[in-house]
Structure 1
């Protein structure tokens, strides 16, 4: 077997693999003998099929399989031994002029296109500057969160007259264009949340209603054509809600209001545990801390995105774009040319970042160990379980779930990539200059 490489340019090459009969014949003969021992064919005792008979019946298919195995194994070994860094996968060059007899006398020649990884020149230093935002809870955000929590622990009342924020429990009947109830039309009993009504004029007509009042409601206008809200209110599918144009007769059955819980010790103990918070000042401080903890996650994501954008833009490298487009088409049969062009820029940018990541990891000897992957996976699973139950799962049971989770290759690869990205960002942040900046949440949202 002979393998040679012809470099087309810095980003493209062709590998030629020549396989002679003496290379593949021993493998084919061995495979035939093994198949003969296992074969169960009519007219022969099991395991006693002559090799010559197997060769006549299956010789060509076994030859094809062995040639493919040799190509895969030796091409992979050649690239590894010669430290050829490629992007994507080698693509076979189709040559319709070559015809093989597949009779164990052919000398096979196969060519493969390679997209070569470019040289990455990057060194992150203190000269690289980024802004790390400390997002502060503004008064409006804090008050909204406090109101939401107090309502969550509050009690339901039934006032006579509806006010903003109340819920109208009502019968709804679909109207025909002439304003009459549509016979056989949509009829439902549901809750109209006034805080979801976006049209101010319609909201004004709903505020002040009381039990047994009747009004006409344009649901599309009231809820800004939000098919999810409309579907839930009318108990219909979202597709039906999306196309619905009718108005509805609304008959109020009741007005519901969720009163805010009092700020007292019982309330504080329910939320934070007994005695941990004893007054309103401590309560507000805890809620502020909780909000700003959530904001920190957003700020961290923005910092990472800023690092990604800045480093991919300032790190100059060329990619074998023609090869990569061809490879994407070859490995995604349903990918259209239009989809390829629409998505290629993002693909290339992400590929550049992967090359930058790999360079930083190599240059700085960053290690990604199994324990890091395991702990990260365990944290992600713990967060998922807590969404359904506030009680933490026992440590040994969580560890068992994590081990099972990581046995799935796709899960393990995803968490590995997450840990890899985090370690690279941590390194960059440790050597770059981070300018700390306090910012109100509202202004921070406007930046994103």
Structure 2
């Protein structure tokens, strides 16, 4: 057997495999003998089917399968031994020497050619001289005020006032202004009203009051469809948009008072006993969340820098053929539309992989489990700040989650990205800068 590869250019090459009878016949003979022992055929006792009968009946099929297996295994070994950083998978080159030209009589010398794409050469563009800003985001007064308001509303109570105010939910009947028109009794959130004049007309209403509104001006199509119980297409094409809105009831969410009962709903009993302590706790919680925003900003800056610095060519035509071969249903238009994003993802994946290889980094199973536990814990705390799952419970949830292959792959890739990010934070120069959240939000606008 002889395997060679020849570079066409920096990112394209051809692998050639030559097989002589002595390279494949021993393996083919073993398979045929094994099939003879296992075959159950009419006229033969189990295990007593002659080898010659199997060879005559199934030999060419076995030969074809084994040669494919041998070639694929040897190409994979060759790529690994020669440390070729291939993209996609080798694609067979169609030429005059194809399967139909061989006799398949165990005496052929086979010649196969495969096209491969090779990752471009480049230096990873991060060093101790590369500088980035790590933002230390502080909670400004407006952000804290909004967070406290949301917490008070989350633990507030529903009341039914006599007169409507801005932000109330009206339980009302909407009746289309035409004979046999739509009539629906439903909840109408006044905060969803887009037209200022219509929103103002719904303030100061009492039970049984009626106002006429233009629902197309009042609501987005999706909200209108939900309110009226119709499809978005039907909402878009309403012939009469004037409706009578008749109030049945007024619902208002009263914010919770800031007192000990409220504190104990949010935190372990007795941990917070004053408004000052409460404000401090909320500030810590908000600023801990901001650390994620800061990290994401730094990751985006690092990604943008790396993508701009690594200006290389890829084997585009090969990759398009490979994508078509592995996704036969994809259209040419879909391929062209998504190809730029595919190349960007591929470029960053190669950058990440070279950082991992160059620094001997490794993603361990325990790290993926711990990441799964973190994500599960965050979800639980999002819905109930006071709920503290045990480590054993989190382990059980994480193991269950990782049994889903798609979720496991996603978490592995996320763990790999975090490992690369942590490594880069140790490699590059980071300049810390304090900034209020409202100013941070405007940085990339």
CA distance in 2, matches of 1:104, 1:189: 80
Q: TM-score scaled to structure 1, two decimals?
A: 0.91
CA contact (8 A) 2:3 2:16 kept: yes
- Please name the residue that 1:440 is paired with: 436
Counterparts of 1:241-390 in structure 2, within 5 Å, are: 241-244=235-238, 246-247=240-241, 248-385=243-380
In the TM superposition, 1:49-448 aligns within 5 A as 49-98=49-98, 99-122=101-124, 124-173=126-175, 175=176, 179-181=177-179, 183=180, 185-225=181-221, 227=222, 229-238=223-232, 240-244=234-238, 246-247=240-241, 248-385=243-380, 391-448=387-444
**Does the 8 Å contact 2:125/2:309 carry over to 1?**
no
- Post-superposition CA distance 1:130-167 (Å, at most 9, x none): 12222333322222222222122222222221110111
Structure 1 stretch displaced more, 12-21 or 262-271? 262-271
Contact 2:125 2:310 in 1 (8 A): no
Structure 1 residue 237, shift from structure 2 partner: 4.4
Q: Is the 8 A contact 1:199 1:224 kept in 2?
A: no
The structural deviation recorded for 1:94 is: 1.3
The 1:9–1:222 alpha-carbon spacing in structure 2 relative to 1, beyond 3 Å, is same
Is the 1:214–1:252 Cα contact (8 Å) retained in structure 2?
A: yes
Deviation per residue, 1:93-113 (Å, 9 max, x gap): 112454122232222111011
Asked if the contact 1:128/1:433 (under 8 Å) is kept, the reply is yes
In structure 2, the CA distance between the partners of 1:220 and 1:284, relative to structure 1 (3 Å rule), is farther
Q: Which moved more, 1:362-371 or 1:85-94?
A: 362-371
What is the alpha-carbon root mean square deviation over aligned residues?
2.3
Give unmatched runs, 5+ long, in structure 1. Answer: none
Q: Do the aligned partners of 1:132 and 1:435 also contact (CA within 8 Å) in 2?
A: yes
- 1:243 to partner: Cα distance: 4.6
Deviation for aligned residue 1:404: 4.5
Consecutive unaligned residues in structure 2, runs of 5 or more: none
Task: State the 1:422 CA deviation.
Answer: 0.8
* 1:278–1:403 distance in 2 versus 1, CA, 3 Å: closer
What secondary structure does 2:442 align onto? helix
The separation in 2 between residues aligned to 1:110 and 1:304, in whole angstroms, is 45
Q: Alignment length, in residue pairs?
A: 440
- TM-score, with length taken from structure 2: 0.91
Question: What is the CA distance between 1:298 and its match in structure 2?
Answer: 1.9
Distance 2:86 2:334 in 1: 24
